[in-house]
Amino acid sequence: MKVLVLNGPNLDRLGTREPLIYGSTTHADLVEMCVAEGKELGFDVEVRQTAYEGEMVKWLHEAADASIPVVLNGAAWTHYSIAVRDACSQLTGPLVEVHISNIHQREEFRHHSVISAIASGVIVGLGVEGYLLALRWLSLKK
C-alpha cells in the first residue's frame, strides 16, 4: 500500500532551521527514516516537500483520487491555508497531521490548525519520531 508523507514550506531546511526547535535531523534523514519504517510496515512510502501551496493541493488531490493515506506536516499552511484544508477534506483515506514541535507551546498564531478538525489524528511535539508513529498508526488501519 502506498502512503504519501507530505511536507510544507521550510521543512526542506530541517537540520539547519532552528535546531533547538526542530532538531538536527535533515529532510534527507527524515525521508530515509520514513521509507525504512514504511518498508518494515509493508508500505511504499513516498516523501515529498514543497514550498508551493498549489503543488501541495495537487498532491492532496492525487491522494484523494487514489484513496492514498497521507501523513501531512503542512508547516505554516496549517494555521491559515483554507486551500490546503479544503484539499484535505476531499481525502478518501486516513490523514494524520504531524508537527515536529509542540505548536501549543509556541507563538499564539501557531496554536490553531485549520486541518486538525478533519484529520484522523494529530501528533505534535514528538520530533521527527512523530512521522514514524503516524506510519505505525496507519499500519493498524490496513
Residue list for the binding site for substrate: 73, 79, 86, 100-101, 110
> Edge-to-edge, what's the strand order for the sheet holding 121-124?
44-49, 2-7, 70-73, 95-99, 121-124
Indicate the annotated binding residues: 73, 79, 86, 100-101, 110
Sign of torsion, CA 77 83 89 93? Answer: negative
- Whose cell is 508547516? That residue is 75
Tell me if residue 99 is catalytic.
yes
Residue 112 falls in the annotated catalytic set = no
Q: Are strands 70-73 and 2-7 parallel, antiparallel or unpaired?
A: parallel
Instruction: Please identify every residue annotated as catalytic.
Output: 22, 99
